[in-house]
Structure 1
Amino acid sequence: MSKISQSITKVDHAEKMSGDAKYVADLTFPNMLFGKMVRSTRPHGKIMKIELPDMQAGYGIVDYTDIPGSNGLKVIKSEQPIFAEHEVRFIGESILMVVGSDFDQVKEYAANVKIEYEDLPGVYSIDESIESCVEYQYEHGVVEESFAKAAKIIEETFYTGYQEQTYLETQGAIGIYQDNKVTVIGSLQCPYYVKDAVMYAMGYEKDQVQIIQSTTGGGFGGKEDYPSMIGCQVAIASKKFNCPVKLIFDRREDMVVTPKRHPAKLVYKVALDKNNQITAMDVDIRLDGGAYEGLSSVVLQRSLIAVTGVYKIAALRASGKVMVTNTVPNGAFRGFGAPQSFFAVEMIMSHIAKKIGMSPLDFKKQYLVEQGDQTATHGEFRYPIVLPKMLERAEALSDYSKKYKEYQNQSHEGRFKKGIGISLFLHGCGFTGSGEKDFIRSVVQLVKYEDDSIEILVSNTDMGQGVKTTFSKIVAQVLGIAVDQIKIANPDTDRVPNSGPTVASRSIMVVGKLLERAAEKLKENYKSGEYQMFEEHYVHPEMIPWDIKTFSGDAYPTYSWGVNIVEVEVDTLIAETKLLGVWAIYDVGNAIDDIIMKGQIDGGMLQGLGYASCEKMENVGGTIKQASMTDYIIPTSKDTVNFVSELVDNPYDGGPFGAKGAGELTIIGIAPAYASAVEEAVGHNINFIPVTPEKLMEML
Structure 2
Amino acid sequence: MGATEKSRAVGRNVPRKEGLDKVTGAAKYVDDLTFPGMLHGRTIRSTIAAGEIENIHLGFARKGFTIADCRDVPGRNVVALIELDQPCLAERRVRHFAEPILLLAHEDRERLLEAESLVAIDYREETPIYDPEKSDHCFKEIRIEKGDLARGFAEADVVVEGEYRVGLQEQLYIEPNGVIAVPENGGITVYGSLQCPYYVHRALRVLLGLSDDKVRVVQTETGGGFGGKEEYPSMIAGHAAILAWKSRRPVKLVYDRVEDMVATTKRHPGVIRHSTGVTRDGTLTAIKIDVLLDGGAYMTLSPVVLSRGVIHATGPYRCDHVRIQGRVVATNTPPNGAFRGFGAPQTQFAAEVHMERIAETLGIDSVRLREKNAFRPGDTTSTGQKLGRDTSALRVLREAVSRSDFRAKRRAYRGTNRGIGLALFFHGSGFTGGGEVKLASKASLELTETGARILVASTEIGQGTRTMHAQIVADTLGIPYDAVEVAAADTARVPDSGPTVASRTCMVVGKILERCAQEMRRELGGRSARDYLAERGSLVVTKEYSGPDGLYWDDETYRGDAYGAFGWGCDVIEVERDPETWEIRPTRVTAVCEIGKAIHPVLARGQIEGGTAQAVGYALLEEVAMRDGR
TM range (shorter): over 0.9
Whether the aligned pair in 1 keeps the contact of 2:12 and 2:600 (CA below 8 Å) is yes
Report deviation, 1:485: 1.3
Cross-structure match for 2:458: 460
Separation (CA, whole Å) in 1 of partners of 2:545 and 2:155:
48
Please state how far the C-alpha of 1:201 moved relative to its aligned partner: 0.5
**What is the CA deviation profile of residues 227-266 of structure 1, one whole-angstrom value per residue up to 9, with x for unaligned ones?**
0111111112111110001100000000000000000100
What residue is the counterpart of 2:180 in the other structure? Answer: 174
Question: What is the CA-CA distance between 1:67 and the residue it aligns to?
Answer: 0.6
- Aligned match of 1:433: 433
Taking structure 1 as the reference length, the TM-score comes to: 0.86
Q: Give the structure 1 partner of residue 328 of structure 2.
A: 322
Local SS of the residue matching 1:5 = coil
Tell me by how many angstroms 1:552 deviates: 1.3
Contact between 1:126 and 1:265, CA under 8 Å: does it hold in 2?
no
Aligned partners of 1:124 and 1:620 also within 8 Å: no
Give how far 1:148 is off.
4.6
Q: Which residue of 2 aligns with 1:14?
A: 20
Instruction: Give the counterpart of 2:285 among 269, 274, 279.
Output: 279
Per mean C-alpha deviation after superposition, the further-off stretch among 150-159 and 87-96 is: 150-159
| Counterpart AA for 1:553 | G
Alignment check: 8 A CA contact 2:298 2:335 kept? yes
Normalized against structure 2, the TM-score is what? 0.95
SS of structure 2 residue aligned to 1:620:
coil
Q: Indicate whether 1:592 and 2:602 are aligned.
A: no
Question: How far off is 1:2 after superposition?
Answer: 3.8
Aligned twin of 1:239: 245
> Per-residue CA shift, 1:296-327, capped at 9, x if unaligned?
00000001000111100111110011121100
1:612 aligns with 2:611: no
Matched ranges for 1:521-532 at <5 A:
521-526=519-524, 527=527, 528-529=529-530, 530=533, 531-532=538-539
Aligned to 1:77: 83
CA–CA separation in structure 2 for the residues paired with 1:268 and 1:326? 27
1:120 corresponds to 2:120: no
Q: 1:147 deviation in Å? A: 2.7
Cα deviation, residue 608, structure 1: 0.7
Shift of 1:3: 5.7
Contact map agreement 2:197 2:489 (CA 8 A) in 1: yes
More displaced stretch, 535-544 vs 313-322: 535-544
* 2:346 maps to 1:348: no
**2:110 paired with 1:111:** no
Tell me how far apart the structure 1 counterparts of residues 8 and 458 of structure 2 sit (CA, whole Å): 26
SS in 1 for 2:210: coil
2-side partners of 1:307 and 1:610: how far apart? 22
Taking structure 1 as reference, are residues 608 and 516 closer, same or farther at Cα in structure 2, changes over 3 Å only?
same
Paired residue secondary structure (1:350): helix
- Which residue type is aligned with residue 128 of structure 1? K
- 1:524 deviates by 2.0
Kept in 2, the 8 Å contact 1:170–1:254? The answer is yes
Q: Name the SS of the counterpart of 1:497 in structure 2.
A: coil
Letter in 1 for 2:505: S
Cα deviation, 1:400-423, whole Å, max 9, x if unaligned, reads 12222333xx4x4xxx42221111
Whether the aligned pair in 1 keeps the contact of 2:170 and 2:267 (CA below 8 Å) is yes
Q: Deviations over 1:334-392 (max 9, x none)?
A: 00100001101111111101211111110111111112221111122134223333333
Q: Residue 98 of structure 1 corresponds to which residue in structure 2?
A: 104
Query: Which deviates the most, 537-546 or 61-70?
Result: 537-546
Kindly provide the CA deviation profile for residues 528-560 of structure 1, in whole angstroms up to 9, marking residues without a partner as x: 321211111100212442222111111111101
Q: Distance in 1 between matches of 2:339 and 2:589?
A: 23
Q: Does residue 185 in structure 1 map to residue 184 in structure 2?
A: no
Contact 1:199/1:209 (8 A) holds in 2: yes
Corresponding residue for 1:637?
none
Distance change (3 Å), C-alpha of 1:445 and 1:270 = same
Q: How far apart are the structure 2 equivalents of 1:73 and 1:543?
A: 36
Equivalent position to 1:64, from 62, 70, 85: 70
Alpha-carbon separation, structure 2, partners of 1:537 and 1:2? 26
Which residues of 2 match residues 334-345 of structure 1 at below 5 A?
334-345=340-351
* Contact 1:379–1:544 (8 Å) recurs in 2: no
* Aligned equivalent of 1:571, options 564, 569, 578: 578
Do the aligned partners of 2:282 and 2:369 also contact (CA within 8 Å) in 1? no
Match of 1:553 in 2: 560
1:224 is aligned to 2:224: no
For residue 628 of structure 2, the aligned residue among 621, 640, 648 is: 621
Determine which of 376, 379, 387 is the counterpart of 2:385: 379
1:446 aligns with 2:445: yes
Task: Indicate conservation of the 8 Å contact 2:283/2:373, yes or no.
Answer: no
- Per-residue deviation at 1:277? 2.9
CA–CA separation in structure 1 for the residues paired with 2:158 and 2:397: 29
* Inter-partner Cα distance in structure 2 for 1:54 and 1:23: 32
Give 2:296's aligned residue: 290
The whole-number CA distance in structure 1 between the counterparts of 2:327 and 2:44 is 32
How far 1:394 sits from its partner (Å)?
A: 2.0
Matches of 1:402 and 1:395 in 2, distance apart?
10
Amino acid at match of 2:440: R
Deviation at 1:194, TM superposition (A): 0.3
Q: Distance in 2 between matches of 1:212 and 1:549?
A: 37
What is the CA-CA distance between 1:275 and the residue it aligns to? 4.7
Shift in CA distance, 401/274, structure 1 to aligned 2, threshold 3 Å:
closer
**Cα distance change, pair 195–383 in 1 and its aligned pair in 2 (3 A):** farther
Tell me if the contact between 2:401 and 2:572 (Cα under 8 Å) persists in the aligned partners.
no
Q: Is the 8 A contact 1:157 1:267 kept in 2?
A: yes
> What secondary structure sits across from 1:122 in the alignment?
coil
> Is 2:427 the partner of 1:420?
no
Taking the TM superposition and a 5 Å limit, the aligned residue runs for 1:363-402 are 363-402=369-408
**Aligned residue identity for 2:122:** E
Contact 2:316-2:393 within 8 A present in 1 as well? no
Q: Which one of the candidate residues 484, 487, 490 is aligned to 2:488?
A: 490
Corresponding residue of 1:469: 467
Tell me which residue corresponds to 2:217. Answer: 211
Q: What is the distance in 2 between the residues matched to 1:315 and 1:292?
A: 34
* Matched residue SS, 1:619: coil
User: Runs of 5+ in structure 2 lacking a partner?
Assistant: 1-6
CA contact (8 A) 2:145 2:382 kept: no
- 3-state SS in 1 of match to 2:611: helix
* Distance in 2 of aligned mates of 1:597 and 1:149: 43
Are the aligned partners of 2:42 and 2:253 in contact in 1 as well (CA < 8 Å)? yes
Cα distance per residue 1:485-538 (max 9 Å; x no partner): 111132100000001100000000000011111112222222432121111110
- Specify the code of the residue in structure 2 equivalent to 1:166: L
SS in 2 for 1:195: helix
Which residue pairs with 1:302 in the alignment?
A: 308
SS at match of 1:183: strand
- Give the number of equivalent residue pairs: 615
Match of 2:373, SS state, is: coil
Say yes or no: does 1:311 pair with 2:322: no
Structure 2 SS opposite 1:490: coil
Q: Would you say 1:360 and 2:366 are equivalent positions?
A: yes
Q: Provide, for residues 39-70 of structure 1, a one-character-per-residue CA deviation record: whole Å limited to 9, x for no partner.
A: 00000010001112342432131111011110
In the other structure, the counterpart of 1:48 is: 54
Matched, 1:502 2:500: yes
- Work out whether residues 577 and 584 of structure 2, in 8 Å CA contact, stay in contact via their aligned partners in 1: yes
Counterparts in 2 of 1:141 and 1:464: CA distance versus 1, 3 Å: same
In 1, distance between residues paired with 2:609 and 2:151? Answer: 45
Deviates further, 218-227 or 265-274: 265-274
State the shift of 1:149 in Å: 5.3
- 3-state SS in 2 of match to 1:487: strand
Give the aligned partner of residue 601 of structure 1.
Answer: 608
Secondary structure at 2:303's aligned position in 1? helix
Residue 274 of structure 1, CA deviation: 5.2
* Aligned counterpart, 2:4: none
How far 1:601 sits from its partner (Å)?
1.3
1:309 aligned partner, one-letter code: G
Q: Distance in 2 between matches of 1:581 and 1:189?
A: 32
Q: CA deviation at 1:576?
A: 1.6
Question: Which range moved further: 208-217 or 479-488?
Answer: 479-488
